[in-house]
Structure 1
Amino acid sequence: MSTTAEAPTADSSSGAEVPLVELRGVGKSYGNIIALKDINLRVGAGEVTGVLGDNGAGKSTLIKIIAGLHKPTEGQLLVDGKPTEFNSPKDALKVGIATVYQDLAVVSLMPVWRNFFLGNELRKKGFLKSLDINGMRATTISELKKMGIDLPDVDAPIGSLSGGQRQCVAIARAIFFGARVLILDEPTAALGVKQSGMVLRYITAAKEQGFGVIFITHNPHHAHMVGDHFVLLNRGQQKLDCSFGEITLEQLTQEMAGGNELEALSHELGRT
């Protein structure tokens, strides 16, 4: 991974804010199969970028490139305005890019606090270096409260929480361990209305605290509720790139549903 200097906050030539993460003309091919082509994406501090698309649109490939799992075959990935190359997800984490996947990487039977520190456990000083259980419990409670999450018992197995609560714990965990950019992979896909609302509120809370959020979803209603900027992928290509003020929910839904293709099909079926 290339090393970068202290993160710039503004473009010295134009005064415009430099994105935390930017993709310029990024493409990804697997042999003769083109998964992504000419993708341009900007993720600013205190902004939610909604990336929409159906299954097979290229959302997963996009996540893997930004998260450092795969390298693009063309184009540039920039972090704080500087071209950057990741060799592994650890490189992405070092510059503050964290991904919260659908499976959340939690152990259902372990307490909430153990999952919060999974792989990053605190240890007491001394020869034995035993786990600092009280410290981890207190930190978990404190960090969750900062996000507005008030759990009655952090000793309860995380599997006993609702899907929305587990998502929020995973988001708070990523922020605590240094994330500046959160990639959320379909966080509301398997949730009901109430639980989805909980996750959307915490996405907004993260945005208000200055984090950049990439919200991957196939639900235009959820994207429009919290998004500041929208990118629509279709079969690996970018079909839409606009800000919140440039598109209504109805227009976003229409584009997501297929736009002109859907109208043509409706007309054809009507004629039949």
Structure 2
Amino acid sequence: MSRRELADFLRRRREALHPDRMPAGAVHPHGRHARRTPGLRREEVAALAGMSTSYYERLEQARAPRPSPQVLTALGTALRLTAAEREHLARLAGQIPPRTDEEAVRPPVPEAALRLLHRLGPLPAYLVDERENILAWNTAATALITDFGRLPVPERNVVRLAVRLGGTLCSAAEGAEGDFARQSAAHLRAASARLPGDRALGELVNEYAAHDADFLTGWRSHAVDPVPALRKRLRHPELGELDLEVQTLLVPGTELRLVLYSAEPGSASAAALDRLCAAATPAP
């Protein structure tokens, strides 16, 4: 159990709840607008969860013993946590044991996932693990982003590529870079609860936090709900700027994710992407 991380997570989620959006009777009737701190008060969360204020205060002060599953369920309801946030809460509270060193070793990529990856044709795609390491990719991804096979293994990482090639791979237009950074923070924050004390993961977080303020904000907020799709504007050296959509799919039964790039049908970006991938695909 990580009392400090648990306390920080509870405080962040409490502060994110807007009093005006809570049901009648959930907050103090005279306190919706006269507040010196953001979100709900501790006593309000305690009342919603059906526990004493003193006990909830000890949880936020990292002084309480391990909460029971029943307490976590009540807190999840009171704080309006998503399914991913409830799982993260349970991990921080020690109700879901962390992965062992043996389990944390990079698992083999399932053959079915590899077959799917290479059958995507003109859709650039790659497979990543929970540390954002790029484990496999298709020809279209090489043409769009970089030749991953020529990179040293430690550099085959989505976050490290964003740090090293951010000016080429993603512009800040329309908030695309910030969205990507916050999504990466959500993935890595969830992974850190599954792999507490993982040195490689910690180094990666520190590296990106020093590079990107949006990532640092996302990390500190304890967000663990990444969006399944985001917009990204890539600056390709031959084709110029491409406005793309990036979708992320979880490979069932694993912690692996399939990341796919596509463009709006009929758009200039779609036509450019088709030309790029057609040129990169060898003739049968």
TM-score normalised by L of structure 2: 0.27
Q: Which has the larger radius of gyration?
A: 2
Bigger proportion of residues as strand: 1
For CA contacts below 8 A with separation 6 or more, give which structure has more relative contact order. 1
TM-score normalised by L of structure 1: 0.28
Bigger proportion of residues as helix: 2
